[in-house]
Amino acid sequence: MTVQQRIADRTARIGVIGLGYVGLPLAVEFARAGFHVVGFDVDARKVAEIAAGRSYIPDVADADLARVVSGGTLRATTDMRELSDVDVIDICVPTPLRKTRDPDLSFVVQALGATAERLRRGQLVILESTTYPGTTDEVAKPLLEAGGLRAGADFFLAFSPERVDPANASFTTRTIPKVVGGLDARSTELAAALYSQVVDQVVPVSSARVAEMVKLLENTFRAVNIGLVNEMALMCRKLDIDVWEVIDAAKTKPFGFMPFYPGPGLGGHCIPVDPYYLSWKARQSGFEARFIELAGQVNASMPAHVVERVAHALNSVKKAINGSRIHLLGVAYKANVGDVRESPALDILNLLAQRGAMLSYTDPYVPALAHAGVSLESIPQDAIPADRIDCVVICTNHSAFDYTSIVERLSLVVDTRNALAPLRRDSIFTL
């Protein structure tokens, strides 16, 4: 029986390498559809949590995970030797940046190496990790072909970018359209057939390079527009105009405008990283992505701007940052998640520490934080010692925060998210 037949009747065995915010929801979705799924991860703690039916990903409910684990359609392991027993291998590992802002494909290369050692005829390999155009052709294909099997003939290879938006209940693994591009037409066909079993809409494209570029365009679009609105916020500050009021009025236009909002900087696993993957690849081809890199510079400057706003706020009550007790409200990169990767709050924390501030924070999703030599534990909001805090900085607008209480209890607030818009008063400072 071919892999296509096994996919069609859902007897295909699926392996998912990387059980993080992309891999675990995907593995659960395949398992819920009746496929037998093996999740692979180097972290034994994740494997143990899955075996116990406990989810460490907010987008996967404990009940949903426990159901597929107890039903025998999902199990996890650290033993990569089992890759030889599956029909489909879906790679969902991180692709961070190096300190030099170059792509770090070490996790992808490690996953591909483990796959190559066990690769057999007829298997379908799909890379989901966000990366630069050409990775599937130039990195994955040679590594997988090193043992003598040929892509498109002996095994099949495709790229399908993850599009996960953590904590977004409106768009899930099933409801987000899935872009698929194979190394050849047959690989595209098989990957599309696989995802159509668990995703409402599959969007085939002509090549893996196109699929890789799709993801970078999506996130570069966001990064550039956020850079634009951040620059507008800086400009409006100089012109004594409320940028939030400007955006609210502009978004009433029913065509030709999409609202983006300023903030303390970019964070997360994609938007601060992906444009650099694109600009790096462009430089390899002799093209300078000046527009993209300028947006990156603007976004990277926002934490320093926030610190200057804190200095301005403290100056209004004749205090300096040095020696002041400053409390950050939210340190995750976005609302209602516990992910601190690339969070601008970390840069703000570091800059304030360098200027002599005494720091504390509250974040119900991040119980402890260690960054740049500063180790802190989250203080519950109702336990914040209001009489001993000189300034509060709202870095992340979690819905769990009681903003009315913040305004009532704390005398000086810098609001980087416009969370206090209905409660504005003289002691509230915005971007």
List active site positions: 270
Cβ–Cβ < 8 Å for 359, 353: yes
Residues 6 or more apart whose CB falls under 8 angstroms from that of 161 comprise 128, 130, 179, 211, 212, 214, 215
Written in H, E and C, the secondary structure of 255-276 is CCCCCCCCCCCCCCCCCCCHHH
Distance of alpha carbon 329 from alpha carbon 407, whole angstroms: 12
Residue found by looking up tokens 């989901």 in the block: 128
Interstrand relation of 178-182 and 156-159 (parallel, antiparallel or unpaired) = antiparallel
Cβ–Cβ < 8 Å for 41, 19: yes
Please report the DSSP string for 195-253 in residue order. Answer: HTTT-S-EEE-S-HHHHHHHHHHHHHHHHHHHHHHHHHHHHHHHHT--HHHHHHHHTT-
Cβ–Cβ < 8 Å for 3, 187: no
Backbone angles phi, psi at 115, to 5 degrees: -70, -45
Backbone angles phi, psi at 42, to 5 degrees: -80, -15
Burial 13-31 (b: 16+ CB within 10 A, else e): ebbbbbbbbbbbbbbbbbb
Cα dihedral 336/341/347/353 (nearest 10): 90
Cβ–Cβ < 8 Å for 41, 47: yes
Query: 50: closest CA among 34, 26, 28, 32?
Result: 28
Query: 275: closest CA among 139, 159, 165, 132?
Result: 132
